[in-house]
Amino acid sequence: MSTPAARPLEGQPPAPTGPQAAPQGVDTATVGEPKGAARKGVPSALLSDQHSADGRYPVSWLSISAPYRGMPAAASRCLCGWDRSAIGHAQVAALIEAHTAHRDTCPLRHPQEGRAAA
């Protein structure tokens, strides 16, 4: 006794019964640019950073987050290794003052070699 073959669902093609080869694309010459390729790129993507043309770059960062009715938090970081953080109103205020004072004593902003040579 054999089981009857399942009837296909409406609108669905019957499933293949054996292995089939994948359809192959049409052979075309691949010389030059593809037809849809952009011929002109975005100029700013090809140029270097335009803001560093005068030799300035960021050295230290102070980030403060103060959510509404929440506890404020702050972080102060510098390329010289200065890395401090604070949570709470008084501590954040003290960190802001420390960050401002660090700007005057940072070895990256005020190199000691130039002072000794002068």
- Per-domain residue ranges for the chain? 60-107
Task: Determine the straight-line distance between the first and last CA of the chain, rounded to whole angstroms.
Answer: 106
Cα(28)–Cα(24) distance, rounded to whole angstroms? 12
pLDDT of residue 89: 94
Q: Identity (one letter) of the amino acid at 8?
A: P
pLDDT tens sequence across 54-63? 777 788 899 9
pLDDT at 115: 52
Length in residues, the chain: 118
Residues 6+ apart with CB under 8 A from 96: 62, 64, 74
HSE-CB for 52 with a 13 A CA cutoff? 6
Residue 17 pLDDT level (bands cut at 50, 70, 90): confident
Residues 6+ positions from 106 with CB-CB distance below 8 Å = 59, 60, 78, 80, 82
Q: Which residue would you say has higher pLDDT here, 78 or 27?
A: 78
- Given a cut of 70, is residue 19 above it in pLDDT? yes
pLDDT at 34 over 90: no
Would you say 72 and 92 are in contact if contact means Cβ atoms under 8 Å apart?
A: yes
